Chains A and B, each alone.
Chain A
Amino acid sequence: MKARKATLKDAKRILKIYFELMLRFEKMDSYDKQSRKYWKEGALAELKKIMRSKDSRFYIIEDKKKIAGFVDLRLLKKSKIFVNYEEGHIESLYIKPEYRKKGYSRLLLDEAEKWFKKRKMKWITVGTHAYDDSANMFWKKQGFRIYNHKYVKKF
């Protein structure tokens, strides 16, 4: 099994799996059922726009021609007051539940690291949900360290 760079032809399938990922979000990041129209109309154009950018890249894993997972990579530019004002950011990495425990995440992460290195990035960042223990364990196992915590309070 190999991860491959996604092209615009894959956009529709990536969007579908993105939507599936969104539905799993909880609490603060819960999905709005009223946004169905957006997913039907605006979302594909938005995704394609991101995919066309030089500073983003998607890789997918296919299993018997079906998409099993994807990774969404972005080059982020912060304020120049930081020494390291550029970073490679993993916007999302998702493997469908039925394709887990096969090492697919690692394959996608390998591609991510290769691309970020090629683009001269020194740091990779990723944001996770605090409640998602299995994801947090995965990133730690891959050598990631926590540097920031986000807190929320309801008035």
Chain B
Amino acid sequence: MIIIRKAKKTDIPEIEKLDKFGRQLNSYSGLDKLDLQVKEEPGKTYYDKFLRGQKKWMYVAESDAKISGFILFNIEKREIYFKIKKIGYIDLVYVDNKKRGKGISKMLLEKAKDILKEEGIKYVKLSVHSDNFTARKAWKKQGFKEYRIDMFKKLR
């Protein structure tokens, strides 16, 4: 039985442990390499911002009293000159390796969709690293279309 519920402060250590994203980032372009020396202050981590922030949400998928996945999302206000004034942003979705293939990420996304729709959001966006082919394929399958590209160049 999988339950999707709002994350609590006490979930953060478990979420942090589950979140391999940080380590994953290290394998991408040097641009996103994490400084492992820098420790985030407890209570002021990236996740905390989603617990308390305005128009920011964090939900977890729980099964057998354990967290098997989570989603972070928010609403982004755009510049005044755009026709589309605000947009939903899926910051991060992560499901435990061992719990994949059960539709957990889909459930988490459905939750985000419900909340964002209630907020009057019509579009939702997300970012994926170039080398993360699995994720890119998965999002395309979900009906997401590429609309922006970020590029970099190393200066010598």
Binding site for B on A (CB under 8 A): 22, 27-32, 35, 38-39, 42, 80-85, 87-88, 113, 116-117, 121-131, 136, 139-140, 142-155
**Contact status B82-A144, CB under 8 Å:** no
**Contact status A32-B38, CB under 8 Å:** no
**Contact status A148-B147, CB under 8 Å:** no
**Contact status B126-A145, CB under 8 Å:** no
Q: Does B56 contact A (CB under 8 A)?
A: no
**Contact status A150-B153, CB under 8 Å:** no
CA–CA, A115 and B7, complex, Å: 45
**Contact status A146-B148, CB under 8 Å:** no
CA–CA, A127 and B121, complex, Å: 24
Q: Give chain B's interface secondary structure class.
A: mixed
**Contact status A122-B155, CB under 8 Å:** yes
Within 8 Å by CB of A149, from B28, B130, B154, lies B130
Number of A-B contacts (CB under 8 A): 169
Q: Does B8 contact A (CB under 8 A)?
A: no
Chain B, interface size: which category? 35 or more
CA–CA, A144 and B140, complex, Å: 24
Within 8 Å by CB of A151, from B30, B40, B146, B153, lies B146
Determine the chain A residues whose CB is within 8 A of the CB of B55 once the complex forms: none
Considering only residues 114-155 of chain B, those with a C-beta below 8 Å from chain A are: 116-117, 121-130, 136, 139-140, 142-155
Known: A22-B81, A38-B81, A125-B31. A151 touches B126 (CB 8 A): yes
Known: A30-B84, A152-B145. A83 touches B35 (CB 8 A): yes
CA–CA, A82 and B34, complex, Å: 4
Known: A32-B80, A83-B33, A116-B155. A150 touches B122 (CB 8 A): no
CA–CA, A142 and B148, complex, Å: 19
CA–CA, A22 and B80, complex, Å: 12
Known: A30-B83, A126-B151, A142-B153. A149 touches B128 (CB 8 A): yes
**Contact status B126-A147, CB under 8 Å:** no
**Contact status A148-B130, CB under 8 Å:** yes
**Contact status B151-A80, CB under 8 Å:** no
**Contact status A127-B147, CB under 8 Å:** no
**Contact status A153-B123, CB under 8 Å:** yes
CA–CA, A154 and B144, complex, Å: 8
CA–CA, A152 and B125, complex, Å: 4
Other A-B contacts than A80-B38, A84-B30, 16 sampled, CB-CB below 8 A, are A28-B87, A31-B81, A82-B35, A123-B31, A124-B155, A125-B31, A130-B147, A145-B153, A147-B129, A151-B146, A152-B145, A153-B125, A153-B144, A153-B145, A155-B113, A155-B124
